[in-house]
Amino acid sequence: MRSSQYKAWGLLTPTLCILFFIGLVPFLYVVYLSLFKYNIFSVQGMVFTGVDNFRKLMFDSDFMHSLRIGVTFVVITCVVEMFLGLAIALFLTNEFVGKGVFRTVLALPLAVAPITIGSIWVLMTNPDVGPLPYLLDKIGVNYNIGVNARQAFFTIVIMDIWHWTPFVTLTLLAGITGFPREPFEAARVDGASRLQTLRYLTLPLLTPVILTMLFIRIMDTFRIFDEVWMLTSGGPGTATRCVSIHVVRLILTSTDYGYGSGMSVFLLYLTIVMCWLLLNIISVVRRETRER
Amino acid sequence: MRDRGQTKLAFIYLVCILLTIITLFPIYWMVIISLRSKLEIFAGPKLYQTSIFADNYYRPLFKDIYGKFLINSLIIATGNTGLVILLAIFATYAFSRFKIWGSGSLFFWTITNRMAPPAAFILPFFLIFTKIRLIDTHIGLILLYCIFNLPFAIWLLKGMIDVIPKELDEVAAIDGCSILGTIWHVILPVAKPGLAVTAMMIWIFSWNEYLFASIMTSMKARTITTGLAEFVTVIGTNWGEMAAVSVVCLLPAVIFLGYIQRYIITGLTFGAVKE
């Protein structure tokens, strides 16, 4: 038994080494750096300042602004994607010839690189080449996401909905297909209307899947970067500068690595808290639905 | 009754066609822009294209540096996939067949890795990789991508290796196979289809990655996604070429889609939802 334990650890060693060096070390390093004032061009080098970076962060109105934009983005996109995705998934429970092809079409955006999604939408919305400005101009709307802040924000919302609604749809559909048959047949025999079946059968059964979906979507939209970076780079002004974009911009432009690290650590902290909170909510709701 | 059925079917197809158009139109638009010369593009948006302007593909890929970026991307994605699959097979076998402390937290580790914003990690990575001179190297990115691909691969493979009966291992052991021999002769042949899908997904994740690649490379190991992001400049963008490079960037996804489509939901939801 002893020797087999050694063998197991032998098989694991390379993996653990790599995860240690690229996972744990950078994490500890960024936490360590966040406690210093570390300006690369300063003669002082690194100066220990304790939690000063975090105190500064709390009063950083730019950062708080980016948080607000990020949260607004998360709320709008997630709500719309959930409802749209659910509607399309329910619609797809109908059997028809060509359903497989349609599902492949829906799966396509999921495999495309986020940066390509960004460039696709640049080509859609740019005043020089895009059909959107051209069409909107015909109905009298001056559409230019390089100038108009509201339109820019609205466009990244649309882009995310376009990109990820198929994911929600396919996942919910997979959940629905996995349902047991009997309760649905019983409901039909008892003469339940479609709406009743949906309200009292489909939705409660689907709740765990919906919650998991919501969890994944919230975390993903909160850390969104590539697409928005490609499409607007956070502009015009700060209209689409969500959290990740703000952090990357700061790191690229500022020379204070200590403050950059502080922001990175805070972002990680926020992510972990959100993750923990959402997972707890999910398990509570799951328990309640099971009891009912 | 029959009439009602037919109306319903017509409605279903109508909605399907509409959704297909919405989903595919932006991609279609990119493809037709990539076939247009500058003159045609500035003539205004036209919905169809009859001629092909291959220069958009030819110039960036064969005359400019984008061909090199493409090769870099291929090297990095393939290298990372090879490394991850090799390590993941060993690690998963260990997790699956032996009782090891911490295997329960594997799932949480995978989830946190997936949920953590990459933006929070670029600074420490940049500083560390500069120090150990891995910046702007293929090896650097190949190693770096392990951070999210390796836990993912282990998580995905574990489900597949768990279902292979232990008796097979025991038979192999009686026949005098070492652990490596068992993995090679017993596990690999059985797990081959699942392994292929895992490898394709990892390959696509590496290929698609942008943020780390843009920070960690400057010239030698620049990838195609980073190259694509550099198209939009203040002095003006060559839209046709940008669209063409985007199409090239998109191709692997389309090629692999047929294979991974059935597993893509399981993969993206970490097995929470099976299809």
Please report, for chain A, the start and end positions of each structural domain, with discontinuous segments joined by +: 60-253
What is the arithmetic mean of pLDDT over A155-163?
95
Nearest CA in chain A to B144: A22
Residue B275 has pLDDT above 60, yes or no: no
Spatial separation of the C-alpha atoms in residues B260 and B226, rounded to whole Å: 25
pLDDT, mean over chain A:
88
Spatial separation of the C-alpha atoms in residues A61 and B269, rounded to whole Å: 35
Examine the domain organization and report whether B25 and B131 are in the same domain.
no
DSSP state of A39: B
**3-class secondary structure, B256:** helix
Examine the domain organization and report whether B43 and B60 are in the same domain.
no
Question: Given an 8 Å threshold on Cβ–Cβ distance, is A107 in contact with B261?
Answer: yes
Examine the domain organization and report whether B62 and B49 are in the same domain.
no
* Number of folded domains that form chain B: 2
Chain A contact for B28 (CB, 8 A cutoff):
no
Residue B6 has pLDDT above 90, yes or no: no
Residue-wise pLDDT for B84-115, tens only, equals 999 999 988 888 888 777 666 766 676 777 77
Structural domain includes residue B177: yes
Examine the domain organization and report whether B108 and B216 are in the same domain.
yes
Chain A contact for B261 (CB, 8 A cutoff):
yes
Chain A contact for B17 (CB, 8 A cutoff):
no
Residue A116 has pLDDT above 90, yes or no: yes
At A48, which helix (H) or strand (E)? strand A46-48
Residue-wise pLDDT for B223-252, tens only, equals 999 999 888 776 678 888 899 999 999 998
Distance to chain B for A37, nearest Cα, Å: 15
Residue A236: asked if its preceding bond is cis (omega within 30°), the reply is yes
Residue A289: how many other CB atoms lie within 10 Å = 13
Closest CA to B172 of B164, A14, B154: B164
Q: What is the CATH number of the domain that holds B225?
A: 1.10.3720.10
Examine the domain organization and report whether B162 and B107 are in the same domain.
yes
Residue owning tokens 């946190």: B112
**Which carries the bigger pLDDT value, residue A194 or residue B275?**
A194
Give pLDDT, residue A16.
85
Is residue B142 within 8 A of residue B83, CB to CB? The reply is yes
Examine the domain organization and report whether B74 and B21 are in the same domain.
no
Examine the domain organization and report whether B20 and B90 are in the same domain.
no
Structural domain includes residue B275: no
B139 is in which domain, residue-wise? Answer: 55-268
CA atoms within 13 A on the CB side of A38: 21
pTM: 0.89
Per-residue confidence band for A292, with pLDDT thresholds at 50, 70 and 90: low
CB within 8 Å of chain B, chain A residues 250-279: 251, 257, 260-261, 264-265, 267-268, 271-272, 275
Closest CA to B57 of B236, B251, B193: B251
Per-residue confidence band for B273, with pLDDT thresholds at 50, 70 and 90: low
Examine the domain organization and report whether B32 and B136 are in the same domain.
no
Closest CA to B253 of B195, B191, B192, B205: B205
Is residue B69 within 8 A of residue B246, CB to CB? The reply is no
In terms of Cβ atoms closer than 10 Å to its own Cβ (0-12, 13-18, 19+), residue A170 is: buried
**Which of B44, B243, B264 is nearest residue A107 as measured by Cβ atoms?**
B264
Residue B1 has pLDDT above 70, yes or no: no
Structural domain includes residue B273: no
Looking at domain A60-253, its CATH superfamily turns out to be MetI-like (1.10.3720.10)
Question: Which of B16, B36, B53 delimits the end of a domain?
Answer: B53
Residue B197 has pLDDT above 90, yes or no: no
Residue-wise pLDDT for A177-187, tens only, equals 888 888 888 88
Structure token pair of residue B251: 């191709």
Examine the domain organization and report whether B12 and B82 are in the same domain.
no
Structure token pair of residue B61: 């890929």
Residue-wise pLDDT for A225-259, tens only, equals 999 999 988 878 888 999 999 999 988 888 788 88
Examine the domain organization and report whether B35 and B67 are in the same domain.
no
Residue-wise pLDDT for B138-172, tens only, equals 999 999 999 888 888 888 888 888 888 888 888 88
Examine the domain organization and report whether B44 and B76 are in the same domain.
no
Alpha helices (H) along A92-193: 99-111, 114-125, 131-138, 149-177, 182-189
Residue-wise pLDDT for B38-55, tens only, equals 888 887 778 888 888 888
Distance to chain B for A141, nearest Cα, Å: 17
Examine the domain organization and report whether B43 and B153 are in the same domain.
no
Give pLDDT, residue B2.
61
